[in-house]
Amino acid sequence: MRLDRLSRALRSKEDAYRPSLPSPPEVGPFRRDNWRSALRGPWLSSMLSLALLVLLAVVTVTGFLSHAAYDPRLGDNATSPLVKDLYFFSWPTRPAWLYAFTQGLHVVAGLALIPVLLAKLWAVIPKLYERPAVASISHGLERVSLAVLVGGALFEVGTGVINIQYWYTGLGFNFTPVHYAVALVFVAALVLHVLLKLPAMFAAFAEDGFLRPLKEGRAATRAPAPDRSLSVSTDPAEPTISRRGMLGAVGLGALTLAGLTAGQSLVGGYLRGTALLAPRGRSYGRGPNDFQVNTTARAAGITTSTTDGGWRLAVRGRRELSFSRDELRGFPLATEDLPIACVEGWSTLETWTGVRLTDLARMSGALDAEELVVQSLQRGSPYARVSLSPGKFRDPRALLALRVNGADLSPDHGYPARIIVPALPGVHNTKWVASLTFRTA
Ligand SMILES: Nc1nc2c(c(=O)[nH]1)N[C@H]1C(S)=C(S)[C@@H](COP(=O)(O)O)O[C@H]1N2
Ligand SMILES: [Mo]
């Protein structure tokens, strides 16, 4: 379509312009009277939208916070080079459980919204088959934005579930940048949709009452007037459940999903056993090192020959230093209780012992460094090299950990040494550290 034609069409009275696009035949699901539930209508759609909006707000805010916590301004941390400077604050290191909390919330709310999203799509599905399929240019644009909205929501939830369920390889692309990029498009479509639909929501609550339909049992449940919305059935069937019954079932589904996953984040303790949706095993070796392992030493290609005897930590600042593990153990060591909190929503609180990163910065003459680049012995993984901001490595609790819960780190937990920084996303707590480079201006 040529632009001048488009703008002329938009300026002219929109209903006067009807492109002669073919409409689907009136058969099967394409017939409006195929959709016969008496429950559908503006009130049900609005109520589900409201619940969905609250959950989406939680997921969106915590999602962007997670990206902010990655310090996207530094090094290769950004999930996309386009969005290095989107944030105007730096993620704090206090309280230490902050990221475990925000990211646990992201995953719990993201799972809880699945039944609500499906119910909402069910409530409005007759509109998918509205006729004519495209009535005007603005109507066509509105439907495209709805396709982006629905497609984006399903894509984000789908890829999120795939990621937390560990099917990275099944995905076929790198989760982080794609989940993030689609989130940006989705949020734009969502804001547009909310602005356009808010009046309809208020109108529905004004007409039916905010909670009044919840008082109706099944026998009193009637379809609204068909002219109120395209989602209303023109030929309603006898209801098999009340609106409150349906919303109750959706809510129960949401709570069940949330409840079956919440135990794998900070709440932990005995509740960990209730995290039945967490895909990971329950045991990771014996004793002090028996806690969550995503990437094993073996999977990372770390063998004892790379870590035993010959391993030395390179520390570069204004001076270049190198330490054996015994030398590091001879420094004044600090012991801190700090969580590892993965972007996948699981977290675990352990007691770590190691050398303070500030001490290493000072020894290399670079306490004023603007960035700490951590390089792992691991090769060919996006997690093998990360950048930490001064706010992170200058926190006195930030460690190059050598021990956990009173024992040496196991190979799977990053032996000979790993990074542990309070409130840092798990993925930046690099294991099998080879070098620390304090970059000064
Ligand atoms: N070198 C290296 N460090 C790493 C990883 C990794 O794959 N390689 N995984 C990171 C991730 S995603 C998390 S959540 C934490 C804890 O992961 P783990 O369960 O594999 O120990 O370590 C981080 N450190
Ligand atoms: Mo992670």
111-126 pLDDT, tens digit each: 999 999 999 999 999 9
Give the pLDDT mean for 259-281.
75
The finding on whether 105 has its CB within 6 A of some atom of ligand 1 is no
Over 70: is that where the pLDDT of 12 sits?
A: no
**Given the CA of residue 413, which atom of ligand 1 is nearest to it?**
21
pLDDT in the model for residue 17: 46
Over 90: is that where the pLDDT of 171 sits?
A: no
133 and 188 share a domain?
Answer: yes
Return contacts of 323-328, CB within 8 angstroms, 24+ apart: 325/402, 325/416, 325/417, 328/354, 328/355, 328/400, 328/402, 328/417
How many angstroms does the Cα of residue 335 sit away from the middle of ligand 2?
23
pLDDT in the model for residue 14: 43
Position 282 in a domain: no
Give the range of the structural domain holding residue 352, as residue numbers without chain letter.
304-439
131 and 243 share a domain?
Answer: yes
The finding on whether 164 has its CB within 6 A of some atom of ligand 1 is no
Where is pLDDT greater, at 213 or 131? 213
253 and 329 share a domain?
Answer: no
CA–CA distance from 271 to each of 127, 262, 275, 342, 435 (Å)?
A: 43, 8, 7, 18, 38
How many angstroms does the Cα of residue 286 sit away from the middle of ligand 2?
22
The finding on whether 389 has its CB within 6 A of some atom of ligand 1 is no
Position 278 in a domain: no
The finding on whether 383 has its CB within 6 A of some atom of ligand 1 is yes
| Residue 272 to residue 7: CA distance in whole angstroms | 58
How many angstroms does the Cα of residue 417 sit away from the middle of ligand 2?
17
235 and 310 share a domain?
Answer: no
424 and 358 share a domain?
Answer: yes
Ligand sitting nearest the alpha carbon of 350: 1
Over 60: is that where the pLDDT of 18 sits?
A: no
How many angstroms does the Cα of residue 432 sit away from the middle of ligand 1?
10
pLDDT in the model for residue 1: 41
pLDDT in the model for residue 86: 72
How many angstroms does the Cα of residue 385 sit away from the middle of ligand 2?
14
Over 80: is that where the pLDDT of 4 sits?
A: no
Over 50: is that where the pLDDT of 405 sits?
A: yes
245 and 314 share a domain?
Answer: no
Position 100 in a domain: yes
pLDDT in the model for residue 386: 96
Would you say 104 and 266 are in contact if contact means Cβ atoms under 8 Å apart? yes
Residue after which a domain boundary falls, among 270, 287, 314: 270
Where is pLDDT greater, at 269 or 10? 269
Would you say 253 and 115 are in contact if contact means Cβ atoms under 8 Å apart? yes
The finding on whether 426 has its CB within 6 A of some atom of ligand 1 is yes
Where is pLDDT greater, at 28 or 403? 403
| Residue 178 to residue 427: CA distance in whole angstroms | 17
248 and 110 share a domain?
Answer: yes
122 and 170 share a domain?
Answer: yes
The finding on whether 384 has its CB within 6 A of some atom of ligand 1 is yes
User: Ligand 1: which residue has its CA nearest to atom 23?
Assistant: 427
How many angstroms does the Cα of residue 378 sit away from the middle of ligand 1?
11
pLDDT in the model for residue 281: 60
pLDDT tens digits along 286-343? 789 988 888 899 999 998 877 777 899 999 999 999 999 999 999 999 999 999 999 9
Give the pLDDT mean for 46-75.
96
> Which band of pLDDT confidence, cut at 50, 70 and 90, is reported for residue 20?
low
Would you say 92 and 423 are in contact if contact means Cβ atoms under 8 Å apart? yes
> Which band of pLDDT confidence, cut at 50, 70 and 90, is reported for residue 16?
very low
| Residue 421 to residue 268: CA distance in whole angstroms | 20
> Which band of pLDDT confidence, cut at 50, 70 and 90, is reported for residue 271?
confident
**Given the CA of residue 341, which atom of ligand 1 is nearest to it?**
14
User: Ligand 1: which residue has its CA nearest to atom 9?
Assistant: 427
Cα 319 → chain centroid: 40
The finding on whether 429 has its CB within 6 A of some atom of ligand 1 is yes
Q: How many domains does the chain have?
A: 2
348 and 209 share a domain?
Answer: no
154-168, 183-197, 331-345, 411-425: which has the minimum mean pLDDT?
154-168
20-29, 146-155, 180-189, 253-262: which has the minimum mean pLDDT?
20-29
244 and 372 share a domain?
Answer: no
308 and 263 share a domain?
Answer: no
Q: What average pLDDT does the structure give for the chain? A: 90
Ligand 1 pocket, mutate which of 266, 376, 383 (most atoms under 8 A from CB): 383
pLDDT in the model for residue 398: 98
Position 277 in a domain: no
pLDDT tens digits along 128-137? 988 888 999 9
Give the pLDDT mean for 228-233.
94
pLDDT in the model for residue 5: 56
pLDDT in the model for residue 167: 76
Position 294 in a domain: no
Position 426 in a domain: yes
241 and 350 share a domain?
Answer: no
Q: What is the CATH number of the domain that holds 369?
A: 3.90.420.10
Give the pLDDT mean for 94-98.
96
Position 296 in a domain: no
pLDDT in the model for residue 269: 65
Dihedral sign computed on CA atoms, order 179, 184, 185, 186: positive
Where is pLDDT greater, at 200 or 10? 200
Position 322 in a domain: yes
